[in-house]
Structure 1
Amino acid sequence: MKVIVAGLPKTGTKTMNNALRVLGCDTIYDYPENAYYLNKEWVKIFKKGSKPEELRRMYDGVDAVMDTPCCFYWEELAEAFPDAKIILMERDEDRWYKSLLKQAEQLNSSWLIWCIQCFTYFGIRRVTYRRGVLAALAELSGWPTERINLHNKCTLKRLFRQHELYIKEKAPKDRLLIFKLTDGWKPLCEFLNVDVPEIPFPHKNKGAEIFEEYRKSNEIVKSVERQFLISMTFYVALAAFIVYKCLTWFHW
């Protein structure tokens, strides 16, 4: 592992994802990858805690990790991968809270996300995982609605401050980069000891339209959408068969 992105969601993790890919991190585990490939392993960690050898096995061959749940387990990951660099993205806490709130509202209002949660194997099996991932930030209503109910503003802003301060205090100084998206390529490239690309620094998920971005670019989300279409085809066919049998029986 090369990089552990320790910043909370909505501090620029999607921008950092894109930037790290440009800089040569080919395999990055963001929220979709962790939920899809490591669902079972993380649920076990939520219940029993993690061990360095277990994390090394889970992330064997992975270049970088970010977003939940990894940002909450950055210290354990840093112990398991002692050569990995740690990046903390700084952001104004009021803007962070507003962005988090906007994203939660968008996810809660998406009919497609609701359908995926109800009618796909991936959606159903990640219920326990999702509760563990979001425990620090929110509570979830019961399945199948699974609405994100964020903790109150004061609680979230306190979490934000504590998370940043703890990283700054505990992370080894020679392994930590405190970064703002406005800093651009230079400090990031110097920290990772790579050349500065001849392209503008990226900016992803502007306006918190994360699910729409995932639908366009993330193969896991595309795969889950295909699962949903297959599931719906099956349910529609089953309903049509039942209606046909009922009509046949009444006609008889």
Structure 2
Amino acid sequence: MSIKVIGTGFGRTGTDSMREALTILGFGPCHHMSEVIANEEQKRLWRALAKGAAPDWSELFAGYASCMDWPSAHYWRQLIEFYPDAPVILTWRSAGSWWESFERTILAGISQLQDQEALGISLIAKQVFGGKAHDRATAIALYEANVAAVMATVPPERLLVHKLGDGWETLCAHLRVPVPDRPYPNRNDTREFQAQFGLNRRC
């Protein structure tokens, strides 16, 4: 199995809904941070990568047909080259609404972490946000810079910018598959995130 769809959007941009949508459309299993949290071998592999190990994408994504969310989204530049035929999806929401959701969920969880090798600290806080994840202006600037970099780097015909609420039509057109006869998934809102993970199960 090889990665057939690559996600480049930050966590809290609808990545879990997109994960389920891709699975419904036949592009699953979809790699997502929830997979790392639930799997000790995934945790080991991605922690090693965050510490500087050379990536073995075939091993990291063994058994997966697509990837969304962190940790993989941090490596999108390498992934779009390694999987040159895979369509790219940038999940997107306004920077302000992204920060409000991020602050109440992922950032709140990072604040409780003790394990310095946890991806919340070693990858998200330190590498994605340069140690300034708690600074709203810095985090928003980095969020917007990632969006701009994806749009400047990925050819338009390969990229879909999928905004919250866009639903099936543009996604299915981008992936060249029929629109399913069911509602687009709506998963992992702030309340569900907090209830599901309790802000104490960490990767």
**TM-score if structure 2 supplies the norm length?**
0.82
Structure 1: gaps of 5 or more residues: 119-123, 140-148, 216-220, 225-252
Q: Which whole-Å deviations, capped at 9, do the CAs of 1:35-80 have from their partners, x for residues lacking one?
A: 43322322332233544xx112321331111111111101111112
Partner Cα distance (2:47, 2:108) in 1: 26
- Give the drift of 1:15: 1.1
Partner Cα distance (1:7, 1:204) in 2: 16
Partner of 1:95: 97
Partner of 1:26: 28
Q: Which whole-Å deviations, capped at 9, do the CAs of 1:81-127 have from their partners, x for residues lacking one?
A: 11211100121111110111111465379xxxx7xx88xxxxx6xx4
Q: Higher helix fraction: Structure 1 or Structure 2?
A: 1
Question: Of residues 117, 125, 149 in structure 2, which corresponds to 1:128?
Answer: 117
State the one-letter code of the partner of 1:23. L
Conserved? CA contact 2:168–2:184, under 8 Å: yes
Partner of 1:210: 193
In the superposition, relative to structure 1, how do residues 138 and 101 fare at CA in structure 2: closer, same or farther (>3 Å)?
A: farther
Whether 2:50 is the aligned partner of 1:46: answer yes
1:155-234 matched pairs, under 5 angstroms: 155-213=138-196
Partner of 1:151: 134
Q: Over aligned residue pairs, what C-alpha RMSD do you find?
A: 2.6
1:7-22 matched pairs, under 5 angstroms: 7-22=9-24
Instruction: Give the share of equivalent positions with the same residue, in percent.
Output: 28
Partner Cα distance (1:151, 1:32) in 2: 22
- Give the drift of 1:166: 0.3
Partner Cα distance (2:32, 2:151) in 1: 22
Larger Rg: 1
Structure 2: gaps of 5 or more residues: none
- Equivalenced residue count is 193
